[in-house]
């Protein structure tokens, strides 16, 4: 690719990840992977400055505002913080601070724990809480006033008559998460992986009554308006605490020489904090100095976040097992001597693939250090070679699949990021591998997908072992009589299983797509995809290019997600399964927005293309609400083509061919308001 093409691809991928993380709460990359994408983009722009446009992700705050509820535009942008990971990075931050201040000015620094939650802004006027909003894109957020009012940690009144604008994080304490997860498991729901996910998902719920059921707390760390009461950050934090407002209460003010010691203090104490923290924030303390230093287009120049290394534990490897996943990937798993880590007991840890085992030089019997990747999945990070008392035999990946005996392959297309020291995945190429079939069925039947009750591990094992079911579509051809003949299955149990399978036919198209396990497509993305494609028959009828264009039009779908979907639908084996599901009448068409019976656009049809001031799905919703119909492409019957910036020539040529009138977004909305 040319530099411009590489730049465009990176920008699309970063923006898609921003949308999934900040808007949909459906992240598709880790923090480290996202930071790596940004570093690549910055390096490319440094090499080719002409590519660094004002709308580049390197020059704006990450995230976009949701529009499902009222939006709030704030006069002072809500910036994110630049991240550092070493003492050298911190020293560079200090050099920039000193260079940015007049000679003779000696700054002091306020060091605070970095809260790991959902960012919010709260406004008080004349002592009353009048508004709360999410971060959104930094300028525009979503109104969550009623949600915040349900949080008992936030006072509805304070003894302060002037306008006060605060910023902070919504968090869930560790102990509260344990109670919440116990309750969810009792209801048959999936437990939350960590407090951050639970808080971020809850703070933007539409129903405040549901929010009130979550143990959310707000912790404030900044005053945007009202800071004129004080001269420094630490004085403001002290005042907020005295005013009865929730703060972390763990800040310290030191000269630069004491900053690292305070960071280490927070790191040592973080397990004792009631909330999650993944680092420390270093701020220039005096507001006068902050004003002198100013900010970049994305970060304040007077603050930086130092990110901690993940918590680790030391234990022994008792064995290395090999698991076969639903895609055929063979994953080595370290069987460990049980050890406590981040509040849980860990006895197994992923090793990803053979390349990671080789890079670690890991052997059975070794003493290792483990940590939780993203605070969720335990993984081995290093071997304590000093503790290796003898030469243990090296681990080697099997040459044949442990489930079906098929010779395995190393597929270079599955190569993972070289900077992580991982090589190509080892795969069993046999799609009929019993363990792959089992894993695909388990995934398809999970609650977030087709939600098939009574389909337990023992039953699936028997269905596959006896050759009764060969893929997920085969579930719908099994009668209760055949199920009843299996071990430990009476007539009543068989009827329950059969009924549950039949009920799953009524799941909507998005649940089917989710259950099929398309790479990079989770629950939220599956719903977006289903809303765009409509139904399985409609999706299967599209040629590859038409499918690619439709999927690429979905907001938040980057190039990799688009190609993943197209490849899945073009795979012969996957298409065969989907066609069987269609023949078995599995999956209802995705509900589509209703067109208003009457309105200023009644009788007209519209195709919307190009870059508009709103997301395309929002414009579609506005058109339908005004009585207009939506066409995915320009057809003979299309009345108007709504053309935004960067409209493709092919769409304009089609409009000319069919005599379709081309209008701007402004003309469209003028028509909605009764204009010409």
330, 405 contact by CB (below 8 A): no
Q: Which helix (H) or strand (E) covers residue 500, if one does?
A: helix 491-503
Cβ neighbours of residue 8 closer than 8 Å, sequence gap 6 or more: none
How far from 105 is each of 288, 289, 375, 486, 493, CA to CA, in Å? 11, 9, 41, 81, 78
Residue carrying the six token digits 């909305």: 669
| The CA-based dihedral angle spanning residues 23, 27, 29, 35, taken in that order and rounded to the nearest 10 degrees | 40
- Strands 312-324 and 140-142 turn out to be unpaired
455, 445 contact by CB (below 8 A): yes
Q: Is 114 a catalytic residue?
A: yes
Can you tell me the distance from the alpha carbon of 623 to that of 54, in angstroms, rounded to the nearest whole number? Answer: 31
Q: 209 — phi, psi (to 5°)?
A: -65, -35
> Among 40, 73, 114, 492, which one carries the catalytic annotation?
114
Q: 98 — phi, psi (to 5°)?
A: -60, -40
87, 287 contact by CB (below 8 A): no
Q: Buried b vs exposed e over 373-410: b needs ≥16 C-beta within 10 Å?
A: bebeebbbeebeeeeeeeeeeebebeeebebbeeebee
Can you tell me the distance from the alpha carbon of 530 to that of 404, in angstroms, rounded to the nearest whole number? Answer: 34
Can you tell me the distance from the alpha carbon of 323 to that of 316, in angstroms, rounded to the nearest whole number? Answer: 20
554, 529 contact by CB (below 8 A): yes
Strand order in 164-171's β-sheet? Answer: 128-134, 118-125, 164-171, 217-225
Degrees, nearest 5: CA angle 214-511-615: 75
Query: What burial class does residue 205 get, using C-beta atoms within 10 Å of its C-beta: 0-12 exposed, 13-18 middle, 19+ buried?
Result: middle
Cβ neighbours of residue 373 closer than 8 Å, sequence gap 6 or more: 30, 310, 350, 379
Which residues belong to the active site? 114
């Amino acid at each position: 690719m040319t530099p411009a093409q590489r730049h465009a691809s990176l920008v699309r991928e970063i923006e898609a990840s921003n949308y999934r993380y900040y808007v949909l709460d459906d992240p598709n990359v880790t923090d480290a992977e996202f930071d790596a994408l940004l570093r690549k983009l910055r390096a490319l722009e440094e090499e080719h400055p002409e590519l660094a446009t004002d709308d580049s992700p390197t020059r704006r705050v990450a995230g976009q505002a949701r529009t499902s509820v009222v939006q709030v535009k704030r006069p002072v942008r809500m910036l994110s913080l630049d991240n550092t990971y070493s003492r050298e990075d911190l020293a560079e931050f200090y050099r920039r601070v000193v260079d940015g201040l007049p000679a003779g000015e000696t700054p002091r620094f306020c060091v605070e724990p970095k809260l790991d939650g959902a960012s919010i802004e709260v406004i008080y006027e004349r002592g009353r809480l009048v508004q709360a909003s999410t971060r959104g894109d930094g300028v525009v957020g979503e109104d969550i006033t009623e949600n915040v009012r349900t949080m008992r940690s936030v006072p509805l009144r304070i003894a302060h008559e002037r306008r006060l604008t605060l910023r902070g994080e919504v968090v869930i304490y560790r102990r509260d998460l344990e109670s919440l997860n116990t309750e969810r498991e009792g209801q048959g729901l999936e437990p939350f992986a960590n407090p951050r996910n639970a808080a971020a998902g809850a703070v933007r719920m539409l129903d405040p009554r549901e929010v009130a059921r979550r143990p959310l707390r707000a912790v404030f760390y900044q005053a945007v308006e009202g800071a004129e009461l004080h001269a420094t950050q630490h004085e403001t934090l002290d005042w907020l605490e005295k005013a009865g407002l929730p703060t972390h209460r763990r800040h310290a003010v030191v000269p630069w020489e004491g900053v690292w010691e305070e960071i280490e203090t927070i790191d040592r104490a973080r397990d004792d904090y009631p909330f999650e923290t993944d680092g420390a924030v270093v701020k220039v303390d005096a507001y006068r100095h902050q004003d002198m230093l100013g900010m970049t287009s994305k970060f304040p120049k007077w603050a930086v976040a130092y990110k901690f290394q993940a918590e680790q534990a030391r234990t022994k490897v008792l064995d290395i097992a090999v698991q076969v996943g639903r895609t055929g990937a063979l994953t080595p798993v370290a069987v460990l001597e049980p050890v406590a880590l981040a509040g849980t007991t860990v006895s197994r840890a992923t090793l990803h693939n053979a390349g990671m085992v080789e890079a670690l030089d890991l052997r059975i019997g070794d003493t290792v250090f483990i940590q939780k990747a993203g605070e969720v999945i335990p993984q081995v990070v290093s071997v304590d070679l000093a503790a290796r008392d003898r030469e243990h035999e090296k681990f080697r990946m099997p040459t044949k699949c442990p489930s079906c005996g098929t010779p395995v392959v190393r597929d270079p297309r599955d190569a993972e990021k070289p900077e992580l020291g991982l090589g190509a995945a080892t795969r069993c190429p046999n799609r009929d591998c019993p363990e792959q079939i089992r894993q695909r069925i388990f995934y398809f039947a999970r609650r977030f997908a087709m939600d098939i009750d009574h389909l337990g591990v023992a039953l699936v094992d028997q269905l596959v072992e006896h050759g009764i079911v060969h893929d997920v579509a085969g579930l719908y051809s099994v009668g209760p009589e055949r199920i009843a003949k299996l071990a430990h299955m009476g007539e009543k149990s068989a009827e329950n299983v059969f009924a549950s399978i039949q009920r799953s036919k009524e799941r909507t198209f998005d649940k089917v797509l989710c259950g099929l396990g398309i790479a990079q497509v989770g629950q939220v993305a599956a719903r977006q995809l289903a809303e765009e494609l409509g139904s399985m028959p409609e999706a299967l009828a599209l040629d590859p290019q038409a499918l690619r264009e439709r999927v690429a039009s979905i907001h938040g779908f980057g190039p990799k997600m688009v190609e993943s979907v197209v490849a899945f639908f073009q795979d012969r084996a996957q298409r065969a399964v989907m066609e069987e599901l269609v023949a078995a009448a599995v999956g209802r068409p995705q509900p589509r927005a209703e067109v208003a019976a009457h309105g200023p656009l009644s009788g007209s049809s519209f195709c919307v293309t190009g870059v508009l001031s709103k997301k395309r799905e929002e414009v579609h919703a506005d058109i339908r609400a005004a009585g207009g119909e939506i066409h995915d492409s320009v057809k003979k019957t299309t009345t108007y083509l709504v053309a935004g910036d960067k409209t493709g020539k092919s769409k304009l040529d089609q409009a000319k061919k069919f005599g379709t009138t081309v209008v701007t977004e402004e003309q469209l909305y003028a028509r909605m308001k009764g204009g010409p």
